[in-house]
Amino acid sequence: MKAVLIGVGQAGGKVAQALAEYDYEMDFGAVQGALAVNTARPDLQTLDIETMLIGQDRVKGHGVGGDNELGAEIMQEEAVEVMDALDGRITASSEAIFVIAGLGGGTGSGGAPALVRELQRVYSIPVYGLGILPGRDEGAIYQANAGRSLKTLLREADSVLLIDNDAWHSAGESVAEGFDAINRNIAQRVGLLLAAGEVIEGVGESVVDSSEIINTLRSGGLASLGYASADASPDSGENINVITSATRSALLTGTSLPDAVEADAALLVVAGDPDRIARKGVERARRWLEEETGSLEVRGGDFPLESERIAALVLLGGVERGSRVQQFLQRARDAAETVEKRDTTEQFRNDDLDDLF
């Protein structure tokens, strides 16, 4: 899938760079361009991809200090300039745009939905959000920001691939180590998903293309992405259980949104050496996925990849009913009430987490 990446805010910029680097290192050619947009100059100076500073007249390059209303206002005011910076990156061959943001901060949580709205107005290809939820131990302002941002982003984007920080954070890691690990996990999983829709060397029995990714996300709402891999035998007949076990692990323990199993649609991508992939294993795993997700719209296919391991990538579309989502939304509502009590600006007056716009 030919995609253009736009990272908004600090986390968004870092993830966009990690994705672009992974695509380049693997020589997939799925990422057509990557741009990082921020109101804080120091965050942009650490990136190697192209960058754009916005809001200089209002915040002088110092960021918005967690104020996502201000982040949204600045993006709305400078949307034309941001769109101009994308000129030449989004071409006739582009199949999707991903707007990436951490949903807890100010620039990303406010600016990403505003940018998605503008992109939807101009382009006919799907515009997806890739949103990163704050961890449970992050402050009330981050939880409240994320709740309001997610609600708006869901309305504006064709679908929102949600990443729960707590899903890929290991105990004992420092904050920096944790975020680096999360970025690597996002880059590998989303990078493989984008590459799965590309024409590459190697012949699989049923190769996934970009239309299957788009159709899996067509219903809109929240999406989740799971991944697991295992050593594979050179004999494909011995890898039936390897494929089914990897698929189970990808869905039950390896997703970006834990406990999000029930889904409207799903896509299973089995990646590895075509000679090691057992067709019976792929079909068995796909049928299991139908039963587990409760969806009759489960697609499946191969992704030829030179490797001695077999990997299972599971994309779920329409996972709003998951318990993890409901727990987060309750946490965001509680946080909004806490912020309202101490915030004299009355920024969070609505317990139902009103949209930013």
What pLDDT is recorded for position 143? 93
Cβ atoms of residues 200 and 302 within 8 Å = no
Domain identity same for 165 and 103: yes
What pLDDT is recorded for position 170? 65
- pLDDT higher than 60, residue 204: no
- pLDDT higher than 90, residue 207: no
Residue 229 belongs to some domain of the structure: yes
Residue 124 vs residues 119, 121, 196, 213, 223: alpha-carbon distances, Å: 9, 8, 22, 16, 21
Domain identity same for 25 and 165: yes
DSSP string covering 157-216: SSEEEEEEGGGG--TT--HHHHHHHHHHHHHHHHHHHHHHTS--SS--SSB--HHHHHHH
What pLDDT is recorded for position 200? 55
What pLDDT is recorded for position 237? 94
Name, in order, each residue with C-beta under 8 angstroms of 147's C-beta and a sequence gap of 6 or more: 328, 329, 331, 332, 333, 335, 336, 353
Residue 350 belongs to some domain of the structure: no
The mean pLDDT of 314-321, rounded to a whole number, is 93
Domain identity same for 24 and 158: yes
| Distance (Å, whole) CA 13 – CA 137 | 22
187: CATH:
3.40.50.1440
Domain identity same for 47 and 93: yes
The pLDDT tens digits for 116-144 are: 999 999 999 999 999 999 988 888 999 99
What pLDDT is recorded for position 15? 97
- Three-state DSSP at 149 gives helix
- pLDDT higher than 50, residue 351: no
* Lowest-confidence region among 170-179, 294-303, 319-328: 170-179
Question: Angle formed by the axes of helices 140-156 and 323-342, to 10°?
Answer: 120
Q: Residue 128 sits in which domain range?
A: 3-197+323-342
Domain identity same for 154 and 286: no
DSSP-H helix ranges across the chain: 9-26, 41-45, 56-59, 68-77, 79-85, 107-122, 140-156, 175-196, 210-216, 240-252, 279-293, 323-342
Cβ atoms within 10 Å, residue 66: 18
- pLDDT higher than 50, residue 349: no
- pLDDT higher than 70, residue 55: yes
- pLDDT higher than 80, residue 344: no
Domain identity same for 174 and 253: no
59: Cα separation from own chain's centroid: 28
Domain identity same for 174 and 247: no
Domain identity same for 309 and 330: no
The mean pLDDT of 323-347, rounded to a whole number, is 76
Residue 17 belongs to some domain of the structure: yes
- pLDDT higher than 60, residue 202: no
- pLDDT higher than 60, residue 24: yes
* Beta strands 50-53; 265-272: pairing state: unpaired
Domain identity same for 121 and 41: yes
Name, in order, each residue with C-beta under 8 angstroms of 91's C-beta and a sequence gap of 6 or more: 32
| Distance (Å, whole) CA 2 – CA 128 | 13
What pLDDT is recorded for position 327? 85
Domain identity same for 245 and 188: no
Domain identity same for 9 and 76: yes
Counted domains in the chain: 2
pTM above the 0.75 mark? yes
